[in-house]
Amino acid sequence: MPVIDLLNDDPRKRTGAARHPEKATRPEHPALPKPPWLRVKAPGSALWRETGALLADAGLTTVCQEAACPNIGGCWEQKHASFMIMGDVCTRACGFCNVATGQPAPLDPEEPGRVAQATKALGLAHVVVTSVDRDDLPDGGAGHFAQTIRAIRAACPKTSIEILTPDFLKKPGALETVVAAGPDVFNHNLETVPSLYVTVRPGARYFHSLRLLQRAKELNPNIFTKSGLMLGLGESRNEVMQVMDDMRVAAVDFLTLGQYLAPTRRHHPVARFAPPEEFDAWREMALAKGFAYVAASPLTRSSHHAGADFARLRALCAGFDHAGAL
Ligand code: SF4
């Protein structure tokens, strides 16, 4: 797999500041050789550059870059990008994540408008907006999410809006603020099984995240809910099945399953690479458990093909109550 260093111009590199200060003293683990099914084409086409230039001119951050997503070549060539709002520095330090940890900058009040204008310029029929965790803000950034949703609605009324939010832990009223803004899809990733939270998502609580998904559906049954898991962190088969059952009890409509890739050797190690056939089997099982839609493959990410998947999900659920009843 080619090395894609999209963060060469990271200002933290120029200043010598560590991107992951909390991981700096951890021992490096050996990297497993990548199997052929994880090979991707190196990005570099004219369309890829055009998308990058448009985003850079707009002064916007994307999760595509910050998460070092392996799909960036294919997505940006099709002018699909996922916006990351509220800065590029996160207040948490998850064991799997490439986003920088530290003290974030104040919110930029112009950002919601710029996201809306970029959505229009890229001609997105479906937009995915995510963010860093902002535990430093009284509302966890819920108001900024709501402003962004409203700005996109005003500029691009035909565009469907998917938000991938933090857990808003200990921020009363935050979820209500976001749901009231009326996204089409509310996504919050459980990421892994509860036994691995202490190392993979140390700042999060499994049952809080699960309840957040359930509450979003209770607040507005017309919103599609979505969540994702990474395989290869050290979870057992039974644990994955239990999480799927928990998600269905929480009325989650759409499940994504992808392979975990360690951003550096000091992140949580990859325990194994699940082959593509295993993802096919998980998809069948998840559909049998009642999910309305399942995206499962080694390179599946929350926002990968999110627009096409949402269109299929909406078509499948047309005329049905998708309030998630088992
Ligand atoms: S899968 Fe999502 S994060 Fe990755 S490049 Fe595509 S749009 Fe960006």
**pLDDT value, residue 318:** 84
Match 């709501």 to its residue by tokens: 146
Give tens-digit pLDDT for 190-207.
999 999 999 999 999 999
Atom number, ligand 1, closest to the C-alpha of residue 304: 1
Contacts of 138 (CB under 8 A, 6+ apart): 171
**pLDDT value, residue 22:** 86
Of 119, 81, 115, 39, residue with least CA distance to 304? 81
Residue 102 in tokens: 């530290």
From 47, 72, 187, 302, the mutation candidate for ligand 1 (largest count of ligand atoms within 8 A of CB) is 72
Which protein residue's CA is at the shortest distance from atom 5 of ligand 1? 72
pTM score: 0.93
Can you tell me whether residue 103 is helix, strand or coil? coil
Q: For the chain, 326 residues long, give each residue's pLDDT as a single digit of tens.
A: 333 334 444 555 545 578 899 888 888 999 899 999 999 988 989 999 999 999 999 999 999 999 999 999 999 999 999 999 999 999 999 999 999 999 999 999 999 999 999 999 999 999 999 999 999 999 999 999 999 999 999 999 999 999 999 999 999 999 999 999 999 999 999 999 999 999 999 999 999 999 999 999 999 999 999 999 999 999 999 999 999 999 999 999 999 999 999 999 999 999 999 999 999 999 999 999 999 999 999 999 999 999 999 999 999 888 666 654 44
Q: Is 303 in the pocket of ligand 1 (CB under 6 A)?
A: yes
Q: What is the helix (H) or strand (E) element at residue 133, kind and residue range?
A: none
Atom number, ligand 1, closest to the C-alpha of residue 62: 8
**pLDDT value, residue 12:** 52
From 38, 48, 80, the mutation candidate for ligand 1 (largest count of ligand atoms within 8 A of CB) is 80
The DSSP code sequence of 23-81 is GTTSPPPPPPPPPGGG--PPP--HHHHHHHHHHHHTT--BHHHHTT-TTHHHHHHTT--
Of 122, 143, 12, 102, residue with least CA distance to 60? 122
CA 243–ligand 1 middle distance (angstroms): 24
Q: Is 301 in the pocket of ligand 1 (CB under 6 A)?
A: yes
Give the residue ranges of DSSP H helices in the chain.
Answer: 11-15, 46-57, 63-66, 72-77, 111-122, 142-155, 174-180, 197-200, 206-219, 237-249, 276-288, 306-317
Q: Is 81 in the pocket of ligand 1 (CB under 6 A)?
A: yes
Q: From residue 220, how far is each of 154, 174, 296 by CA, in Å?
A: 21, 15, 26
From 61, 66, 75, the mutation candidate for ligand 1 (largest count of ligand atoms within 8 A of CB) is 75
Q: Is 75 in the pocket of ligand 1 (CB under 6 A)?
A: yes
From 6, 64, 299, 309, the mutation candidate for ligand 1 (largest count of ligand atoms within 8 A of CB) is 64
CA 176–ligand 1 middle distance (angstroms): 27
Can you tell me whether residue 162 is helix, strand or coil? strand
CA 304–ligand 1 middle distance (angstroms): 5
Which protein residue's CA is at the shortest distance from atom 1 of ligand 1? 304
**pLDDT value, residue 312:** 93
Rounded Cα distance between 246 and 292, Å, is 15
